[in-house]
Amino acid sequence: MRTDNIAIETYKYFSTLEGNQYIASEFALKVILEIIHNYKVKNVLELGVGIGSISYSVFEYAQNSKRDIHYVATEANSFCLDVLPRYLNKFYDKLTIYNEINELSGKDKFDIIIIDGIDENMEFLEKLISKNGIILIEGFRINQLNFIREIFPNSIYTRVISNYKNP
């Protein structure tokens, strides 16, 4: 299954679930999967996994492409933590969840860090990103963007904007 199809099907599935008002757009899922595919990402960290739409799409991609992707996430919201096992279903056991980013040891390095929430300890990201890692901020999170630009002032930075509308 192509990354576009995975993004479309994941978006449709998560759009029907309680808590869907904050899920990543279909376009965002497509971009994330393309980055993971093109850069052969093996280790993913997501700040604010929410109800799991991004992680689900990555696990679906990994399964279809027969790739092993290590996925770690943070989440402190009790509603999200309660529904994740049901929403992620067969993929739930593949996900490692922490309440906060500073609970990670700093030994693991991540190829991509997806910021889909906020964490009081975001400066810890500097210890977690691999040498040529990518930080992707999902949605319009200007506070997180400004903070990341302070931590990594010499990094290449771009915005991806689309007029694509979710179905």
Q: In angstroms, rounded to a whole number, what is the distance separating the alpha carbons of residues 99 and 119? A: 9
31-86 tens-digit pLDDT: 999 999 999 999 999 999 999 999 999 999 999 999 999 999 999 999 999 999 99
Task: Using pLDDT thresholds of 50, 70 and 90, give the confidence band for residue 167.
Answer: low
The secondary structure of residue 55, as a DSSP letter, is H
Confidence of residue 19 (pLDDT cuts 50, 70, 90): very high
The answer to whether residues 50 and 117 touch, using CB atoms and an 8 Å cutoff, is yes
Using CA atoms, how far apart are residues 51 and 123, in angstroms rounded to an integer? 24
Q: Cα separation of 49 and 51, whole Å? A: 6
For the stretch 117-139, pLDDT in tens is 777 777 888 889 999 999 888 87
Report in angstroms the alpha-carbon separations of 91 from 113, 132, 142, 153: 19, 27, 31, 36
Name residue 46's beta-bridge partners.
73, 114
Name which residue leads in pLDDT, 99 or 167. Answer: 99
Q: Is the pTM of this model over 0.85?
A: yes
Burial class, 115, CB count within 10 angstroms (exposed 0-12 / middle 13-18 / buried 19+): buried
